[in-house]
Amino acid sequence: SFKVAVTKGRTYVQLENVDRTRKTALNYSVRTDFVIYTDPFEDNDKQYKAFTLPERSQTIRGTFHETGDLDWFALNLEHSGTIRLRLSTDTGRIDPMLLFQKEGEKSMTIDQAGDGGIEVTSQMEVLPGQYYIRVSNVKDYAGPITGEYTLEIEYNPKLIDPNEPNDKSYQATFAAMNAGYEGVFHKNDDVDWF
C-alpha cells in the first residue's frame, strides 16, 4: 500500500506492469481511502499541549484527522480588551463545539448550532492572562472527518496611554534624552504634551 498527497480536485493514478515483456494477464485489485490531512497545530490534543497563538486577531483552519481529535489553543494576552470567537465548518459531518477558559477559572462551552452550523460567542471582556480555546466535534462524531473547520478570533486590545493625563502643557510628561515614548490618541481631539 502507498499514500499519495492530494489537493482539491481530480487526481489520476496510473498502474502499469514493471515487466513490459509479459504477455499474459495480470490480476490486481485497487482499494482507495481518503484521509484528511493533519493540521499544522498538532500535537495539541491536551490542554497542556495547547498550540500558542500570537496576541492578535486571526483565522485558523484545522482538521479532525483521527478518532477523538481535540484541538487546544492558548492565547497569552498582555492587554485588556474584547474577544469574539467564531467557529465554522465546510461539512455537515462536523457539529462544531467551542470551549473558552481563562487559566484557573471556570470554562464556558459554546454549542448552539447543529451539524455544519456556526458557533459564535458574544463579544467578551478579557483581562491580561492565559486563555485556552478548545475546538472539537460533538462526542457522537468522534471519528476522523473529511472536512475542515475555521476558527476566527477577533481580538481588540484596549490601548492605554501610560502618559495620561498630559492634555495640557502644565501636565506634560517629562521626556528624557534618547528615550522612546508610546502613546494613544484615545479620541479625535486628544492632545499629548511632552
Q: Give one DSSP letter per residue of 33-75, joined into a string.
A: ---PPPPTT-S--SGGGPEEEPSS-EEEEE---STT--EEEEE
Tens digit of pLDDT at every position of the chain (194 positions): 788 888 888 888 888 888 888 888 888 888 888 788 889 999 999 999 999 999 999 999 999 888 888 999 999 999 889 999 999 999 888 889 999 999 999 999 998 888 878 999 999 999 999 999 999 888 777 778 888 999 999 999 887 777 788 888 898 888 888 888 888 787 888 899 99
- Which amino acid does the sequence have at 182? E
- The CA distances from residue 155 to 31, 121, 126, in Å, are 46, 12, 9
Q: What is the pLDDT of residue 106?
A: 94
Neighbours of 96 (CB within 10 A): 25
Q: What is the pLDDT of residue 82?
A: 94
Closest C-alpha to 99, from 87, 89, 116? 87
Tell me the pTM: 0.71
Distance CA(149)–CA(140), nearest Å, equals 17
